[in-house]
Structure 1
Amino acid sequence: MMNTFKKYTIAIFATVALLFTACEDADDGGNIIPGVNSILNQTENNADLSMLNAALIRTGLNTTFNSSVTYTLFAPNNNAFTNYLTANGIASIDDIPVADLRDILQYHTLTTEVTTDVMTTDYIKTLGKDDEIEFLDLFIETGTSILLNGNVTIIDADNDADNGVVHIVDTVIELPTVFSLIAANPEFSELTAALQTNGLQTDLSNTDGTLMDPYTIVAPNDAAFQALVDLNTTDEFDSIADITGQTDIDEDLLYHVVGNDRLRSGDLSTGLRVNTLRPSTSFTVDISAGTVITDGTMNTANVTTTDITAINGVVHIIDLFIRSN
């Protein structure tokens, strides 16, 4: 009898231990049973996320955020949605076309768990996609506060979920254009100002194909402007202001833009001649050792970052302001 009791007791404790271990393993050591605290549950249980919850249900993404797949969700609160609806003349969430609403929500989503302690200032791919089914980029700027695309602030960070993390934001993140992804990055302050001064931000924000979009932009950052100044101490450029103050700076800016095409890194080849929006001009590409552009003055620029994707084109970062002549 005693041996039977001991065997029964041992079996009970073994079963309990196995179940306890299984629960720990299922949520990566968080001791939370999956399904109790999913990303969807957080939108259900937080009254300030009720409009987001309604949007998830309307688009069918409620199932996505209640699954075991890991995500990061930048979650607009009710005030963010209210401001978005007002700014766009929309009466309610139900008046946004489902496909458009889904596109917006997917752009608020990362396909891995990214907490604020590992965020860096950089572009990152989202679940949102362009017309060619390439993942859209989001620009994260870290600091005292964390900004998304230059104007969206994380106001309640690192809300842990069984299947990822939720960061509550104060603004609905608009789908990005090539201009907005440039303007969001402080390292493009000179290029942004030059584009705005010459009225080119309107064209580069266009998304309906009527103004030569989609675009490919080889975008010089602030260091690239300075690199042109430093390249030749005997030329006319003694400061960045000398570059941006040229009477034909708009033509130089157009030399950095390709119209009616998304040229991704995979489309480039050695010897490729690329026609630009500056009339009758082109630059050539060499990919034999990295990606290098040779401009009309025979100066070379290295492409340091490729395939930053917007809904109306792609951006590649270069380390020298290039010129056609």
Structure 2
Amino acid sequence: MKKLTTKIHLILFTALLAGFTSCSDDDDAGMITEESETIADFVASEEDYSSLAEALDRTGLTATLDAEGTYTVFAPNNAAFEAYLDGTAVADVPVEDLTQILLNHVLAVEARASSLATGYVNNLATYADTDANLSMYINVDSDVVTINGGSELEGGANVTATDFEFSNGIVHTVDAVITLPTVATFAVADPTFTQLETALTADASFSFVNTLTSAGTFTVFAPTNDAFADLLAELEISGFGDLDTSVLAAALSLHVVNGANVRAEDLTTGTVTTLGGAIEVDASNATLTDANGRVSTIVVTDVQASNGVVHAIDTVLLPGL
């Protein structure tokens, strides 16, 4: 399983770093090129980032972004902070919470706009009291860059200005404060999980979305769109409406482990109890097996949210039939 995780992360970061290399000599990519000015200097000097500057000062992160390093900051402007605070003030947000929210906007790599690619990256916010960094879903579509689903979704943002370049990294402006993602955030933001989102909301009686946005701790094995397409073909039905609601609810419950944030390195071979019953895990082969003997392979690991972790799988698990 560690090999699987390493391979996936290597692919993502190799692609990202390849983009950095290809654009490192561009003369017109940066809107501002101040080799002696730091990100913190810029934020402090720009009136439209005064709320961000106040937040950085309050959390002690001004020093971080004033020091040597390599960062990318998705910087919310004052309008973004005003909408987020909704009549309150930066001083009203608990320092610990504010720190994590700000770190949720910072990558530990330098990423110009031309090197951003659709997929997951890790930011500097962390899960609970661990060193597991939270994930961020970036979607680059027709030159529009969105983060965690864009500003149309709660907690997401659109990138509105790019490539302010400084001695210790890059700043891109965003139109909303990017709040800490839940596991439900990624089900909605990532088009790989469109069918999962549809299934989770297929019936008014379902409470999956409320559950997966709550403050609990969850491990979610998330079937991809292809996994759901294969299931519909296997069952010879055209859509979720043709499936008994109780069966769909039971199947979805099999994909959620409550009370544990089980990252790939922590998976062990044996029986795992989900909200829908027991499944078998083979950690060596990165597979899950349901009560019917159907085997699902984990294809992406460790998409880390603030209330749990998501692993993508290629086959939908089913309760005993």
Is the TM value for this pair above 0.5? yes
Q: Are 1:155 and 2:160 an aligned pair?
A: yes
State the shift of 1:238 in Å: 3.0
State the shift of 1:228 in Å: 2.0
- Aligned partners of 1:227 and 1:319 also within 8 Å: no
State the shift of 1:266 in Å: 1.3
Identity %, equivalent residues: 33
- Aligned partners of 1:286 and 1:293 also within 8 Å: yes
Which residues in structure 2 correspond to 1:165-204 (within 5 Å)? 165-197=170-202, 198-204=206-212
Taking the aligned partners of 2:281 and 2:97, their CA distance within structure 1 comes to 37
Match of 1:284 among 280, 290, 298: 280
Question: Which secondary structure does the structure 2 equivalent of 1:263 belong to?
Answer: coil
**Equivalent in the alignment of 1:302:** 297
Taking the aligned partners of 1:65 and 1:83, their CA distance within structure 2 comes to 24
Gap runs ≥5 in structure 1: 1-27, 208-212
- Aligned partners of 2:133 and 2:304 also within 8 Å: yes
State the shift of 1:54 in Å: 1.1
Taking the aligned partners of 2:67 and 2:243, their CA distance within structure 1 comes to 51
Question: Which secondary structure does the structure 2 equivalent of 1:248 belong to?
Answer: helix
- Aligned partners of 1:229 and 1:239 also within 8 Å: yes
**Equivalent in the alignment of 1:7:** none
Letter in 2 for 1:195: L
Taking the aligned partners of 1:72 and 1:243, their CA distance within structure 2 comes to 47
Gap runs ≥5 in structure 2: 1-23, 28-32, 151-156
Taking the aligned partners of 1:196 and 1:115, their CA distance within structure 2 comes to 37
Q: Are 1:318 and 2:313 an aligned pair?
A: yes
Q: Are 1:110 and 2:128 an aligned pair?
A: no
Letter in 2 for 1:189: T
Taking the aligned partners of 1:245 and 1:147, their CA distance within structure 2 comes to 36
- Aligned partners of 1:74 and 1:166 also within 8 Å: yes
Bigger drift between 130-139 and 171-180 goes to 130-139
The alpha-carbon distance between structure 1 residues 170 and 33, as it changes in their structure 2 partners (threshold 3 A), is closer
**Structure 1 residues 120-179: Cα deviation after superposition (integer angstroms, max 9, x where no partner):** 111111100011421101111111211100021000011111111001000000101111
**Structure 1 residues 165-221: Cα deviation after superposition (integer angstroms, max 9, x where no partner):** 0010000001011111221111111111222342311111011xxxxx201100011
Taking the aligned partners of 1:276 and 1:132, their CA distance within structure 2 comes to 24
Taking the aligned partners of 1:195 and 1:33, their CA distance within structure 2 comes to 48
Match of 2:95 among 88, 93, 98: 98
Q: Based on CA coordinates, which of the two structures has the bigger radius of gyration? A: 1
Q: Which runs of 4+ in 1 moved over 3 A?
A: 240-247
- Aligned partners of 1:225 and 1:240 also within 8 Å: no
Q: Are 1:220 and 2:218 an aligned pair?
A: no
**Equivalent in the alignment of 2:250:** 251
- Aligned partners of 2:199 and 2:240 also within 8 Å: no
The alpha-carbon distance between structure 1 residues 214 and 229, as it changes in their structure 2 partners (threshold 3 A), is same
State the shift of 1:247 in Å: 4.1
- How many residues are treated as equivalent by the alignment? 280
**Equivalent in the alignment of 1:143:** 141
Taking the aligned partners of 1:132 and 1:288, their CA distance within structure 2 comes to 28
Taking the aligned partners of 2:239 and 2:117, their CA distance within structure 1 comes to 28
**Equivalent in the alignment of 2:46:** 46
Taking the aligned partners of 1:33 and 1:177, their CA distance within structure 2 comes to 37
**Equivalent in the alignment of 1:265:** 264
**Structure 1 residues 29-55: Cα deviation after superposition (integer angstroms, max 9, x where no partner):** 99x775x32111221222111111111
Taking the aligned partners of 1:228 and 1:126, their CA distance within structure 2 comes to 34
- Aligned partners of 1:243 and 1:249 also within 8 Å: no
- Aligned partners of 2:34 and 2:166 also within 8 Å: no
Taking the aligned partners of 1:277 and 1:136, their CA distance within structure 2 comes to 24
Between 1 and 2, higher relative CO (CA 8 Å, sep ≥ 6) is seen in: 2
Letter in 1 for 2:187: I
Question: Which secondary structure does the structure 2 equivalent of 1:142 belong to?
Answer: strand
Question: Which secondary structure does the structure 1 equivalent of 2:91 belong to?
Answer: helix
The alpha-carbon distance between structure 1 residues 247 and 33, as it changes in their structure 2 partners (threshold 3 A), is closer
Taking the aligned partners of 2:318 and 2:129, their CA distance within structure 1 comes to 30
Output the aligned Cα RMSD.
Answer: 1.9
Taking the aligned partners of 1:93 and 1:120, their CA distance within structure 2 comes to 32
